[in-house]
Structure 1
Amino acid sequence: MTTPRPRFSGPLFEGRSAITLAQLRLFVAVADEGSFSSAAAGLGMSQSSLSEGVRALETALGQAVLLRTRSGVSLTPTGLQVIGYARDALLAVQDLQLAANPARTLSGQLTVATYRSIGQQLLAPALARLHAEHPELHIRVLDAGRDGQGGQRFVSSGEADVGLIEAPDAAGGLLFEVLLHDPYLVVTRTGHPIPLTWAYLKAQPLLLPPLINPANQPVLEFLRSHKALSRNITEVDEDDVILSMVEYGLGITIFPRLGLAGLRPALVAVALPEPLERIIGLVIRPGRAALPHVQALAEAVRTQARQSADSGS
């Protein structure tokens, strides 16, 4: 006997057409790009077709989801309420397809959020290993610093499949797996007294990325706690420029070890008087850790993290 399907009635459903995944995909694309023209170009479709698809979604919802202005688009209050559900729906379909097709060779796109130093020394070699096994799997890398939460928001919203980031203060319902401990080191010119003292650190001009960067906070708090924070702090946008300034005797800097590959001959990385480290790991939404493409990336990164820890570089 066939079980009858439930029928919904009431003001919420009367006269409304069904919402489609295609409409949700168009809505999310416009929200992410900030304009219909950019979203249409990215999707390879006409702007009029894209606008028609979004209007169909708004008709189905009975509410506008995007506010159109001369400078672009923004989410309406309704749009802000439903964007997370739209992302979840698209992710659920993607995950269903992946789970139903555990092919030996993976394909499609995998998005990873990470920081530059982690990406260069940990993610890049892991991706080389992953590409050798799954050449049809395309990787997109997002700058974790752009989301204001160290990469967490990208993963929570579904914009990234995986985060390779520093341990968050609060997991926010996400899964976090510790991969390695990355110590901070003082970078100075060769010839300076070793081991370093707190008095020496306080006396040196300190060169750091812009202080608004949350990655600076552990270093600043650590130096303050030991009364070793220099009164002369210079903010510099580019890491390479910071290292050049250290090379020319304009101060010292403090970097995590993973950010110091290929240090110039005139520079030396020295341990702090007491250890300070950051914890690097994988952050994944619950329910997605078992997906084949996520598992493949996680295993490649775990292997690289073990090699990095064993080599001490």
Structure 2
Amino acid sequence: MDLVRHLRFFVAVADEGHFGRAAAALDMTQPPLSQGLRRLEQHLGVDLIHRTRQGAVLTSAGIQLLPRARLLVDDADRLHAESQRIANSRGAIHWGATSALPDGMVTACVTALRTRLPADTHSAAAESGIVDGNDSGATVSTTIGTTVELVNEVRAGVCDFAVVEHPALVDGVAAGPVVKLPRWVVVPDDHRSAGAERPTFPMLAGLAFAGPPRAANPPAFDTVVDLLRERGLDVPVEVARDDRTLFAAVAAGTSFGLTATPPSGTPGVAWLRLAPQAIALRLRVIRRPEAAAHADVIDRVLYRERLR
């Protein structure tokens, strides 16, 4: 009997509470699903599901065994993903970067990886992002995402390593030292703070704070909100998932935000240097155990760029 396949049936029925919906979720018909679940129950020697007219209800044994069944199914999925990664991505380096990392630093990291690592380095194949490479260096795939997404991808083996924001929950992965990058407050260029000789945080009252959603990295989000409140600002928050969205909201005259992108001639946007130590962008490299060389390369880039 294919134990993992039949455990997948059990998990699907438990999640859906209905055999028909579980069959649809598994892209199969109901009879083989019911038969498979019966075979699983016979194999385990316990009833897992009560079959009722209203649907499917877990038995006492089913309730106790469901968490273990989920773990086995999830581990099987991870094993499959890892095997595909190894089979499809030889000679590639797959890394991730938080969307808070400026574009110039992302490309600096890619360039360093291409030129400093051997061409036969193994890593994950990219699902999205920037892909680059040549015959003389390693092929580099970059995924841009939230800190929560990147931590999960490193844990699952989809990414070999990633640059994420600090603080963050990084259990289950190796984490390097924290590096601080300069960050600025951006405001509408016609806002009173933009022309002030000594701008202050209270001047930003009346504007919304535009930043990543809390779900992107709850610890970092709460740290920034607490900082603003300590500085006298208790303002509404609107979602800006990256600098492009942030600059658009600021140029519209309704919002301010934080960016590690250095001052530039962006129309409608002014850069302010407020509490530079307090608002600095804190980053660290997280990695899988075998990606120590990769992490060292990125750490050197971050330390070098922070001094510019």
Distance 1:213 1:172, change over 3 A: closer
Of 65, 74, 78, 1:87 maps to 78
Match of 1:254 in 2: 257
The residue identity in structure 1 corresponding to 2:199 is: L
Q: For 2:179, give the aligned amino acid.
A: L
Residue in structure 2 matched with residue 63 of structure 1 by the alignment: 6
For residue 165 of structure 2, what is the amino acid of its counterpart?
A: E
Cα pair distance change 1:276/1:298, threshold 3 Å: same
Percent identity of the aligned residues?
13
Does structure 1 conserve the Cα–Cα contact (< 8 Å) formed by 2:100 and 2:242?
no
Matches within 5 A, 1:129-140: 129-132=112-115, 134=119, 135=134, 137-140=138-141
Pairing 1:180–2:182 present: no
Which residue is equivalent to 1:200? Answer: 203
Q: Alpha carbons of 1:187 and 1:265: their partners in 2 closer, same or farther (altered >3 Å)? A: same
Give the match's secondary structure for 2:300. helix
Q: Name the count of aligned residue pairs.
A: 233
Q: How big is the shift at 1:162? A: 0.6
What is the match of residue 306 of structure 1?
A: 303
1:121 touches 1:261 (CA, 8 Å); kept in 2? no
Q: Give the TM-score taking structure 2 as reference length.
A: 0.60
What does residue 269 of structure 2 align with? 267
TM-aligned CA deviation for residue 187 of structure 1: 0.7
Shift of the 180–238 alpha-carbon distance from structure 1 to 2, 3 Å rule, reads: closer
Instruction: List gaps (5 residues or longer) in structure 2.
Output: 13-21, 28-65, 120-133
| Deviations 1:269-293, CA, capped at 9 Å, x for gaps | 21224622232111013x3245xxx
Q: Matched residues in 1 for 2:204 and 2:281: separation?
A: 20
Deviations 1:236-257 (A, max 9, x none): 5664243234235x13422231
Q: Which ranges of structure 1 fall in alignment gaps of 5 or more residues?
A: 1-57, 98-105
Equivalent residue in structure 1 for 2:247, among 243, 247, 263: 243
TM-score by length of 1: 0.59
Looking at structure 1, the residues matched to 83 and 241 of structure 2 have their Cα atoms a distance apart, in angstroms, of 39
Q: Is the 8 A contact 1:179 1:280 kept in 2?
A: yes
Q: What is the deviation of 1:227?
A: 2.8
What SS does the aligned partner of 1:118 have?
A: coil
Decide whether aligned partners of structure 1 residues 217 and 192 sit closer, same or farther in structure 2, where only a CA change above 3 A counts: farther
Whole-Å Cα distance in 1 between the matches of residues 291 and 303 of structure 2? 20
* Inter-partner Cα distance in structure 1 for 2:240 and 2:168: 26
